[in-house]
């Protein structure tokens, strides 16, 4: 552990910001001076953590639970940085919080999921950031709305912030799932596609809400080429003042990071590229065939449409549809296709068929 000159951390922060994978860890909440310091020291001792996180102000769903230690926790973070050499990051949700954080030399700020949903709050944070040179991470909004996430990025970018990163922390979903926040990976992937070159890290802690599946989610994120992870850690997870079920000790974090298989996005080997190219051509070929076949299926649907039109029969015949699905589930099972996929696929094909038939029947 090296002690650092806290007045001159800019270069260090830059090197961390550009490091892949970027690993952020620390408690959900700063609770006491001793807890922050000990967590930071044990995290630094792993040699695997780049930034120390802690929540200072906690946006809680219901009043009455621990709402964060507030500004008095900021000097603790500053001390932890001095003692360990780890740059620090905290969540900010108001203009005043941005000011306080910057006053105490917080190196990276993040905007939480409950803030990203609210354009007024994001704008207030963005206004406080005008003229400031600090990296900002933006979590996805709690609801699965990509436009809100993009809007938050735009507001912060318009304030002049050059270094913006994204945190995928999952989305509130109706009904019970095994997750606290459903990952909805496709949304994160679409966000990456729309912001090429922007760092995106994954937050397994808030996706899982529990320790036992953290590793699976972290591995999946790495397999999907995320740029890093933010994982909550605590010296005594079971007795944490917030998010106790999902926190792990710094030592467990270290084990987890060693167990993860860190895949490369690309390989330099020619042989690998040739093999991959061959398989990709196969995929392209199969996709072309699938489209041809689906096109043919639509032609048949149109013929049925003509027939129904001439005989005055409705398009949708529920029994027939159930029959198709049942048949597909059975077949899909043998082919290793999930029920979820079969349902989605047939829903899409069915809708397209109905549209084709509609055109015929109303022509
Ligand atoms: C947090 O990181 O502690 C937090 C409050 O997360 P989120 O904004 O994702 O709920
Ligand atoms: Mn938390």
- Cα dist from 140 to 104, 112, 209, 279, 333, whole Å: 26, 8, 16, 34, 35
Average pLDDT, the chain: 93
Looking at residue 305, which CATH number applies to its domain?
A: 1.20.59.10
Tokens of 80: 């932890």
Q: How far apart are the C-alpha atoms of 338 and 196, rounded to whole Å?
A: 31
Same domain as 52, residue 195: yes
Tell me the average pLDDT across 296-300: 92
Looking at the fold, whether 41 and 184 belong to one and the same domain comes out as: yes
Q: Is the same domain home to 255 and 303?
A: no
Q: How confident is the model at residue 100 (pLDDT cuts 50, 70, 90)?
A: very high
Ligand nearest to C-alpha 203: 1
Torsion of CA 338, 344, 347, 349, to 10 degrees: -90
Q: Which ligand 1 atom is the nearest neighbour of the CA of 170? A: 9
pLDDT of 316 strictly over 80? no
22 and 49 Cβ atoms separated by less than 8 Å: no
Is the pLDDT score of 7 beyond 70?
no
CA of 93 to the centre of ligand 2 (A): 15
Looking at residues 38-51, what average pLDDT do you find? 98
Counting ligands in written order, the one closest to the CA of 139 is: 1
Q: What is the mean pLDDT of residues 343-359?
A: 90
Whether the Cβ atoms of residue 29 and residue 235 lie closer than 8 Å to each other: no
- Strand 108-111, strand 228-232: pairing: unpaired
Of 52, 139, 170, the one to substitute when testing ligand 1's pocket (max ligand atoms within 8 A of C-beta) is: 139
- For residue 199, name the pLDDT band (cuts at 50, 70, 90): very high
Are 235 and 342 within one domain? Answer: no
172-196 pLDDT, tens digit each: 987 778 999 999 999 999 999 999 9
Residue 265 is assigned to a structural domain of this protein: no
201 located within any domain: yes
Give the residue whose CA is nearest to atom 3 of ligand 1.
28
Residues 334, 224 share a domain: no
Are 235 and 296 found together in one domain? no
Examine the domain organization and report whether 223 and 322 are in the same domain.
Answer: no
Query: What's the 89 CA to ligand 2 centre distance in angstroms?
Result: 14
Q: Is the CB of 93 under 6 A from ligand 1?
A: no
Is residue 1 situated within a structural domain?
Answer: no
Cα 285 to Cα 194: distance, rounded to the nearest angstrom: 27
Q: In ligand 1, which atom is closest to the CA atom of 59?
A: 5
Residue 28 Cβ < 6 Å to ligand 1: yes
Distance 72 CA to ligand 2 centre (A): 19
Helices (H), the chain: 10-17, 33-46, 74-84, 95-103, 113-116, 119-129, 146-158, 185-194, 204-208, 214-223, 250-259, 270-311, 318-335, 339-361
What's the CATH number where 26 sits?
A: 3.20.20.70
Q: Which residues fall inside 5 Å of ion ligand 2, going by CB?
A: 28, 243
CA angle 316, 321, 325 (to 5 degrees): 155
Question: Considering 259, 283, 300, which residue would you say is the last residue of a domain?
Answer: 259
Q: How many whole angstroms separate alpha carbon 170 and alpha carbon 272? A: 34
Task: List all residues 6 or more positions away from 48 whose beta carbon is below 8 Å from its beta carbon.
Answer: 23, 253, 254, 257
Looking at residue 292, its pLDDT comes to: 93
pLDDT at 105: 96
Which residues are within 8 A (CB) of 327 and not within 5 positions of it... i.e. 6 or more apart? none
Q: What is the C-alpha end-to-end distance of the chain, expressed in Å?
A: 76
Give dist(CA 326, CA 63) in Å, integer.
48
Q: What is the pLDDT of residue 270?
A: 87
CA of 32 to the centre of ligand 2 (A): 16
Domain assignment present for 164: yes
Residue where a domain terminates, one of 259, 284, 317: 259
Domain count, the chain: 2
Please give the Cα distance from 211 to 244 (Å, whole number). 9
Which residues are within 8 A (CB) of 211 and not within 5 positions of it... i.e. 6 or more apart? 237, 245, 246, 247, 248
Residue located nearest, by CA, to atom 6 of ligand 1 = 112
Half-sphere exposure of 234 (CA within 13 A, CB side): 23
pLDDT of residue 26: 98
Q: Are residues 238 and 314 in the same domain?
A: no
Is there a single domain that holds both residue 274 and residue 255? Answer: no
Residues 237 and 107 in one domain: yes
Would the CB of 135 count as within 6 Å of ligand 1? no
Is 206 a pocket residue for ligand 1 (Cβ < 6 Å)? yes
Q: How many residues does the chain have?
A: 363
Q: Which of 108, 203, 209, 229 has most ligand 1 atoms within 8 Å of CB, for mutation?
A: 203
Q: Is residue 238 part of a domain?
A: yes
Does one domain contain both 282 and 232?
no
Residue ending a domain, choose from 259, 289, 318? 259
C-alpha 188/C-alpha 144 separation (Å) is 10
Q: Note the ligand closest to the C-alpha atom of 209.
A: 2
Which residue's CA is minimally distant from atom 10 of ligand 1? 113
Average pLDDT over residues 122-131: 98
Q: DSSP class of residue 140?
A: P
Look at residue 264 and tell me if it is in a domain: no
Classify residue 327: in a domain, yes or no: yes
Give Cβ neighbours of residue 334 (< 8 Å, ≥ 6 apart): none
**pLDDT given at position 40:** 98
* Whether residues 249 and 355 fall in one domain: no
Give the closest residue (by CA) to ligand 1 atom 4.
112
- What's the rounded Cα separation, in Å, for the pair 319 and 311? 19
Q: Which of 311, 293, 310 is nearest to 352 (CA)?
A: 293
Band of the pLDDT at 5, cuts 50, 70, 90?
Answer: low
Task: Note the pTM of the prediction, 2 decimals.
Answer: 0.81
Q: Which atom of ligand 1 is nearest to the CA of 55?
A: 3
Q: How confident is the model at residue 312 (pLDDT cuts 50, 70, 90)?
A: confident
The whole domain housing 306 covers 270-361
169 lines ligand 1 (CB under 6 A): yes
How many Å lie between the centroid of ligand 1 and the Cα of residue 110?
Answer: 9
């Amino acid at each position: 552990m090296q002690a650092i000159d806290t007045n001159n951390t800019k270069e260090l922060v830059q090197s961390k910001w550009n490091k892949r994978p970027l690993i952020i860890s620390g408690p959900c909440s700063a609770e006491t001076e001793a807890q922050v310091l000990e967590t930071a020291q044990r995290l630094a001792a792993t040699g695997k953590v780049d930034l120390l996180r802690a929540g200072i102000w906690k946006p809680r769903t219901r009043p009455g639970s621990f709402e964060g230690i507030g500004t008095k926790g900021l000097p603790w973070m500053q001390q932890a940085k001095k003692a360990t050499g780890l740059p620090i990051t905290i969540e900010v949700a108001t203009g005043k919080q941005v000011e306080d954080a910057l006053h105490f030399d917080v190196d990276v700020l993040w905007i939480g999921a409950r803030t990203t949903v609210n354009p007024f709050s994001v704008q207030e944070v963005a206004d406080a950031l005008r003229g400031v040179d600090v990296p900002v991470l933006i979590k996805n909004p709690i609801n699965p709305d990509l436009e809100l996430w993009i809007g938050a990025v735009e507001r912060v970018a318009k304030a002049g912030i050059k270094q913006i990163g994204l945190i995928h922390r999952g989305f509130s979903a109706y009904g019970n799932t095994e997750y606290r926040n459903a990952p909805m990976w496709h949304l994160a992937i679409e966000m990456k596609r729309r912001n090429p070159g922007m760092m995106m890290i994954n937050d397994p802690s808030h996706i899982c809400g529990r320790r036992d599946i953290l590793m699976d989610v972290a591995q999946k994120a790495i397999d999907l080429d995320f740029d890093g992870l933010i994982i909550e850690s605590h010296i005594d997870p079971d007795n944490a003042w917030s998010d106790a079920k999902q926190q792990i000790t710094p030592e467990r974090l270290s084990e987890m990071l060693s167990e993860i298989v860190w895949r490369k996005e690309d390989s330099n080997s020619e042989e690998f590229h040739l093999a991959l190219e061959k398989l990709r051509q196969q995929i392209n070929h199969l996709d072309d065939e699938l489209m041809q076949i689906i096109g043919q299926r639509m032609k048949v649907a149109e013929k049925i449409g003509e027939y129904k039109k001439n005989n005055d029969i409705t398009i949708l015949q529920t029994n027939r549809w159930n029959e198709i699905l049942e048949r597909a589930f059975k077949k899909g099972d043998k082919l290793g296709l999930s029920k979820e996929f079969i349902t989605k696929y047939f829903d899409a094909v069915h809708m397209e068929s109905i549209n084709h038939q509609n055109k015929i029947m109303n022509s």
